[in-house]
């Protein structure tokens, strides 16, 4: 299984799970990152981190190490 930070720019994928160890797990869930949701990698900040994703019609930014806790198809 891949994690979200490994996905290339412009790719679309579906969230499978969020690691239970992630300290921002609840925050991500509240922001709509739950299993089954579709996300698109929209952009990367100038130094490649954080990344910008599109989900549920809005843009969310998160650091790569936070994205590494999100597993995708």
Partner 1 sequence: MNTIALVGNPNSGKTTLFNALTGTNQHVGNWPGVTVEKKEGILNFKNKKYNIVDLPGTYSLGAYSEDEIVARDFILKDEPDVVINVVDATNIERNLYLTTQLLEMGTKVIVALNMMDEAKEKNISIDIKKLSKELGVPVVATIASKKNGIEKLIEESINMMSAGNVPQNKINYGKDIDNEINKLKEIIENSNLNTEYPSEWIAIKLLEGDEYISEITDKNILKIAHESGDAIAIAAMEPELIIVDKRYEFIGNIVNKTVKKPKEEIITKSDKIDKVLTHKWLGLPIFALIMLIVYQLTFAIGEDILQEGLNAGMETFTASVESFLVNVNAPELLTAFITDGILGGVGAVIEFVPLIAVMYLLLGILEDSGYMARAAYVMDRIMRSLGLHGKTFISMLVGVGCNVPGIMATRTLDSKKDRMIAILINPFISCGARLPIYLVFISAFFPKHKALILFSIYAFGFLVAIIMGKIFSKTLFEGESSYFVMELPPYRFPTLKGTLLNMWDKVSSFLKRAGTTIFAVVTVLWILSVLPYGVEPYSQSSILGKIGTVIAPIFKPAGFGTWQASVGLFAGIVAKEAVVATLGMVYAGVEEGAQLVTAIQGAFTPLSALSFMIMTLLYTPCAAVIGTIRRETNSTKWAVFTALYTFAVGWIISVAIFQIGGLFGLS
SS (H, E, C) the chain: CEEHHHCCCCCEEEEEEECCCCCCHHHHHHCCCCCCCEEEEEEECCCCCCEEEEECCEEEEECHHHHCCEEEC
Q: Between 6 and 38, whose beta carbon lies closer to partner 1?
A: 38
Cβ proximity to partner 1, 6 vs 30, nearer residue: 30
CB of 22 to partner 1, least distance (A): 9
In the complex, least distance from residue 5 CB atom to partner 1, rounded to whole angstroms: 13
Cβ nearer to partner 1, comparing 6 with 49: 49
Residues binding partner 1 (CB under 8 A): 17-18, 20, 23-24, 26-32, 34-37, 43-50, 52, 54, 56-63, 66
């Amino acid at each position: 299984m891949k994690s979200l930070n490994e996905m290339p720019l412009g790719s679309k994928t579906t969230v499978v799970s969020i690691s239970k160890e992630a300290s921002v797990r609840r925050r991500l869930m509240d922001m709509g990152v739950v299993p089954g949701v579709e996300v698109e990698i929209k952009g990367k900040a100038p130094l490649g981190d954080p990344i910008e994703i599109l989900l549920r019609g809005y843009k969310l930014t998160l650091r790569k190490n936070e994205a590494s806790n999100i597993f995708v198809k």
